Amino acid sequence: MTRCYIGLGSNLADPAGQLRSALDRMAEIPDTALCGCSSFYASAPIGPGEQPDYVNAVACLETALDAESLLDALQAIENQHGRERTLRWGARTLDLDILLFGNDQIASQRLSVPHPRMAERNFVLEPLAELAPALIMPDGTPLPQLLAQCPANRLHRL
């Protein structure tokens, strides 16, 4: 089993409800166990145009799936929640990102792990630190160091 961390985000159609429902669906992924979830956080949007604030969280999974199979399962959950991929970084009903997949470093056409922008996003690092405060990144960087260097963004726990 591989321990992985999934970033959750939504800013449309009852964002907190979208995250709760996604967590329920993630718990149903075959050969996968939902081990925990951070608190929910409100954050300012990053992306084009005027958008509502996001609700974000990080979930911990243990899975026997390979990374791309897990990605397929997560994208199916996004689709069940009405996710439309029309505008990069646009508003969305649900976004599920594989942040970390064990200590693997993956660079494929479909998947980059660790998530390439997680070190710039306090709405990822704060909830991740809530779940795993002593976590060490696959490149050896301690999570607290990333968090200390992360740009500030309007963020608060809900």
Q: Indicate if 14 belongs to the active site.
A: no
Is the Cβ–Cβ distance between 127 and 56 less than 8 Å?
A: yes
Q: Indicate if 92 belongs to the active site.
A: yes
**Of the residues 83, 117, 121, 139, which is catalytic?**
83
Q: Indicate if 53 belongs to the active site.
A: no
Q: 59: exposed, middle or buried (C-beta count within 10 Å: 0-12, 13-18, 19+)?
A: buried
CA gap 85, 100 in Å, rounded: 22
CA gap 72, 29 in Å, rounded: 10
CA gap 138, 89 in Å, rounded: 26
**Of the residues 97, 104, 139, 157, which is catalytic?**
97
**Of the residues 92, 104, 110, 117, which is catalytic?**
92
**Of the residues 3, 20, 31, 95, which is catalytic?**
95
Is the Cβ–Cβ distance between 107 and 116 less than 8 Å?
A: no
Q: Which of 32, 118, 105 is nearest to 72 (CA)?
A: 32
Report, as residue numbers or ranges, the catalytic residues.
83, 92, 95, 97
